[in-house]
Amino acid sequence: GKLRRLSILKVDQNKLIQLTDSIGDCESLTELVLTENQLQSLPKSIGKLKKLNNLNADRNKLTSLPKEIGGCCSLNVFSVRDNRLSRIPSEISQATELHVLDVAGNRLMYLPLSLTTLKLKALWLSDNQSQPLLTFQTDTDPETGEKILTCVLLPQMPSEPGCQDNLPRCGALESLVNEMSDETWNERAVNRVSAIRFLEDEKDEEDNEMRTLLRRATPHPGELKNMKKTVENLRNDMNAAKGLDSNKNEVNNAIDRVTTSV
């Protein structure tokens, strides 16, 4: 707390379980990085940091935020991704310079209505969120009667730890593709099944063909055009053949009539 001229403090990737109250006396702090520790709370004195513009506390064990956070009047970027927060204090709207708020990966049920007074440029609620800002609706908390904000990504629920090892996180396709070598990708493409069969019993070929449900890959538009041309050519050939058959029948009928008359 005696480091009055300290402007940047980075203590990420340690095993901190608490942040000293005297942090509020470091009045010149502009950047505070606390990521990947074991913090369960932030001290109330953090609201005394009037020059702080970047506060990052991602991947901790925060269950709540002090309402004094609104005292950080110069805060531009506030990130508390991947914690255990169930609510955001409405006093955060007092940090009028806040432009980026990242609360993805928490357990939020809703957001405070006061957020609408901020000029946010980005509000991140989900790892898979594609747009920096979402459309919100106002609602009422049934327990407190407080006016709140909600959207399609709320409430955020904690992920099941058992599923993380077995299933890729939704939206992680890009990382999966990047991690997969070209050879592996090409090999999978070659071995990919284009028609999936669902058979109840192993029977003879004719019975299998009658009882088989096929799911085939959708043809490429270019292939569809070629298929269409082929079908049209077959239709024209069939019509021409029918025309020849009808002419031939007429000739045969005429011959029969002449033969009969003779």
Asked whether residue 106 is domain-assigned, the answer is yes
Q: Is the dihedral of CA 70, 74, 77, 79 positive or negative?
A: negative
Asked whether residue 112 is domain-assigned, the answer is yes
Indicate the range of 48-57, 105-114, 162-171, 224-233 predicted with least confidence.
162-171
Q: What is the pTM of this model?
A: 0.60
Which contacts qualify for 12-18: CB closer than 8 Å, 24 or more apart? 12/36, 12/37, 12/56, 13/37, 18/43
Q: What is the pLDDT of residue 165?
A: 41
Asked whether residue 27 is domain-assigned, the answer is yes
Asked whether residue 34 is domain-assigned, the answer is yes
Q: What is the pLDDT of residue 152?
A: 84
Asked whether residue 14 is domain-assigned, the answer is yes
Q: What is the pLDDT of residue 143?
A: 87
Q: Tell whether the model's pLDDT for residue 224 goes beyond 80.
A: no
Q: Is the dihedral of CA 153, 157, 161, 166 positive or negative?
A: negative
Question: In whole angstroms, what is the distance from residue 137 CA to residue 113 CA?
Answer: 10
Burial class of residue 30, CB neighbours in 10 A (0-12, 13-18, 19+): middle
Q: What is the pLDDT of residue 225?
A: 77
Q: What is the pLDDT of residue 79?
A: 97
Count of domains in the chain? 1
Question: In whole angstroms, what is the distance from residue 183 CA to residue 189 CA?
Answer: 10
> In which band, very low, low, confident or very high, does the pLDDT at 120 lie, cut at 50, 70 and 90?
very high
Asked whether residue 131 is domain-assigned, the answer is yes
Token pair of 242 as six digits: 């029918």
Q: Tell whether the model's pLDDT for residue 167 goes beyond 50.
A: no
Q: Tell whether the model's pLDDT for residue 230 goes beyond 90.
A: no
CATH number of the domain that residue 140 is part of: 3.80.10.10
In tens, the pLDDT along 32-77 reads 999 999 999 999 999 999 999 999 999 999 999 999 999 999 999 9
Are 77 and 56 in contact, with CB atoms under 8 Å apart?
Answer: yes
Q: What is the pLDDT of residue 212?
A: 57
> In which band, very low, low, confident or very high, does the pLDDT at 217 lie, cut at 50, 70 and 90?
low
Asked whether residue 96 is domain-assigned, the answer is yes
Q: What is the mean pLDDT of residues 214-240?
A: 76
Asked whether residue 198 is domain-assigned, the answer is no
Burial class of residue 79, CB neighbours in 10 A (0-12, 13-18, 19+): buried
Q: What is the pLDDT of residue 176?
A: 44
> In which band, very low, low, confident or very high, does the pLDDT at 257 lie, cut at 50, 70 and 90?
low
In tens, the pLDDT along 172-184 reads 444 444 444 445 5
Domain with 94, as residue range(s), is 8-150
Indicate the range of 14-18, 213-217, 258-262 predicted with least confidence.
258-262
Token pair of 85 as six digits: 């927060």
Q: Tell whether the model's pLDDT for residue 1 goes beyond 70.
A: yes
Mean pLDDT estimate for the chain: 80
Q: What is the mean pLDDT of residues 188-200?
A: 51
